[in-house]
A and B are shown apart, each in its own frame.
Chain A
Amino acid sequence: MAGLTLPASRRLGSALQALIPVTVQSRGFQTYSLPELAYDYGALEPYISGEIMELHHSKHHKTYITNFNAALEKLHDAKDPQSIVALQSALNFNGGGHINHSIFWKNLAPKNQGGGEGPQGPLASAISTQFGSVEKLITKMNSSGAAVQGSGWVELKHLVVETTANQDPLTNKGLIPLLGIDVWEHAYYLQYKNVRPDYLKNIWNVINWKDVSSRYEEAL
Chain B
Amino acid sequence: MAFQLKPLPFEMDALEPHMSKQTLEFHWGKHHRAYVDNLNKQIKGTELEGLQLGDLVKHAYNNGNPTAYFNNAGQAWNHDFFWESLKPGGGKKPTGEVLHLIERDFGSFEAFADEFKQAAATQFGSGWAWLVGIPAGSHGEDKFGKLAIEKTKDAVNPLVLGHYPLLTIDVWEHAYYLDYQNRRPDYISTFIDELISWEAVTARLEQAKATINFYDVKMSSI
Contacts and interface: CB of A to CB of B under 8 A. Distances in A.
11 contacts: A63-B182, A149-B154, A150-B126, A150-B154, A150-B155, A167-B125, A185-B177, A186-B173, A189-B174, A190-B181, A193-B178
A149 B71 contact: yes
A113 interface: no
B172 A185 contact: yes
Nearest to A58: B182
B153 A150 contact: yes
Interface of A: 55, 59-60, 63, 89, 93, 149-152, 165-167, 184-186, 189-190, 193-194
Contact of A194 (B31, B71, B125, B126): B31
B26 interface: yes
B30 A93 contact: no
* A167, A186, A190: residue with the most chain B Cβ atoms closer than 10 Å: A186
Contact of A166 (B26, B124, B172): B124
Contacts of A194: 26, 30-31, 34, 174
Interface string B171-194: 011100110011000000000000
B127 interface: yes
A89 B124 CA distance: 9
Interface of B: 26, 30-31, 34, 71, 124-127, 153-155, 172-174, 177-178, 181-182
A34 to B, nearest CB: 14
Contacts of A184: 125, 173
Contacts of A167: 124-125
B125 A190 contact: no
Contacts of A55: 181-182
B156 to A, nearest CB: 10
Contacts of B154: 149-150
Contacts of A152: 125
B83 to A, nearest CB: 17
A70 to B, nearest CB: 13
A185 B172 CA distance: 8
Given A149-B71, A194-B30, A189 B177 contact: yes
A115 to B, nearest CB: 25
Given A59-B182, A89-B124, A166-B124, A189 B173 contact: yes
A151 B126 contact: yes
B26 A193 contact: yes
* A59, A93, A166, A167: residue with the most chain B Cβ atoms closer than 10 Å: A166
Contacts of B124: 89, 93, 166-167
Contacts of B31: 194
Nearest to A56: B182
A116 to B, nearest CB: 26
Contacts of A149: 71, 126, 154-155
Contacts of A189: 173-174, 177-178
Nearest to B29: A194
